Amino acid sequence: VFLSVVQTYLLIHNKFVCDELKNMGVIILEGNDKISLLENIDNGTVIISAHGVSRKVRDYVLTKNINLIDTTCPDVKKVHDNAIEYINKGYEVLYIGKKNHPEAIGVLEESDKIVLLDNIDMIKNINKNKKYYVTNQTTLAHSYLEEYQNHIKNNFKEYIIETNICLATTKRETALYNI
């Protein structure tokens, strides 16, 4: 399983590895509508990348009775699970992330009660009197999140903010800051 995680991570982030895997016959499904991309896959193995997918996509793969290897990062899975948990408790979810990023796409497909914040100006148009659970894309820098979180703390009435940053991102941010 560890090898699958490494291969999937490289599959996402390394063009050379992606090209080599394509040469070996691996089909890489790229695009926002994963279910449409999966419609013509009837055999083989689907590997869910570390960025994860929504439950809807995962369940669709399982209905096709093909092999599924889910290498979703535990931090990403936690974001998905917590977003659903807080929606079930009556909260709306504010998700700080990057539009069209694979991780954000998967989280946003979980529910229409999850709102993507990919621009600080978007916060101005949100009803500040509702209950919000605030989370984020795990690959964002702490410094990027601070502006969003401070605005929410200073302007919203009821909120829970949970910062979810993967360890690799934190280490890169710290190393860059130290340079």
Contact 118, 95 (CB under 8 A): no
Check 39, 85, 92, 103 and give the catalytic one.
103
Question: 99 CB contacts (<8 Å, ≥6 apart)?
Answer: 116, 118
* Euclidean distance between CA atoms 61 and 6, whole angstroms: 22
* Euclidean distance between CA atoms 44 and 59, whole angstroms: 16
Active site residue 103: yes
Decide: helix, strand or coil at residue 94. strand
- Would you name the residues annotated as active-site residues? 103
